[in-house]
Structure 1
Amino acid sequence: MTPRNDPLEAAALERFMRATRAVNAAFDATRGESGFEPDGHSVARSLERLDAALRELETSEQSLDAILSRRAGH
């Protein structure tokens, strides 16, 4: 792949990288639950955060794929 100064591609790649980091952080938070609240709110919040991060990762990946496919002429 030849590097280009395509601002749309750069923005999509940055979004994907941010989403990847957010998934990693959210996953780490779910594993780091040392104490469970009696009502389970902290666990639920951690899982909601992970779910949202995974959705953003999927969306950002689809956007990046579309941009790269268009660039490759597919």
Structure 2
Amino acid sequence: MNPRNDPLEAAALERFMRATRAVHAAFDATRGEPDSGQDGRFVARALARLDAALRELQTSEQSLDAILSRRAGH
């Protein structure tokens, strides 16, 4: 293991974990009860938040995979 890669790997793993938590929070928000006066805005915002969280999760996973693959020599 190259010690120079450890901070990069740790940062990528932390980003992935934050993204995972954000997806869980965003998903939970889609299951909430909208206020009656908000019409479809509540649902639209919750779905937009979930979509953004899923994109970040995908990006962070790809980054982490790339770092781990380089470390493994693939």
**Residue 29, structure 1, aligned to residue 26, structure 2:** no
- Between the aligned residues of both structures, percent identity stands at 82
User: Are 2:10 and 1:6 aligned?
Assistant: no
Report the secondary structure of 1:6's partner residue: helix
Please state if 1:45 is matched with 2:45.
yes
Q: Match of 2:29, SS?
A: helix
Q: Distance in 2 between matches of 1:9 and 1:17?
A: 12
Matched residues, number: 71
Aligned residues: CA RMSD: 1.7
Structure 2: runs of 5+ lacking an equivalent: none
2:62 alignment counterpart:
62
Structure 1: any 5+ residue segments left out of the alignment? none
Matched-pair contact (CA < 8 Å) for 1:33–1:43: no
Runs of 4+ in 1 over 4 A off after TM superposition: none
CA distance in 1: counterparts of 2:41 and 2:66, whole angstroms: 37
When normalised by structure 2's length, the TM-score is 0.87
**Per-residue CA distance 1:43-69 (angstroms, 9 max, x = gap):** 100000000000000000000000000
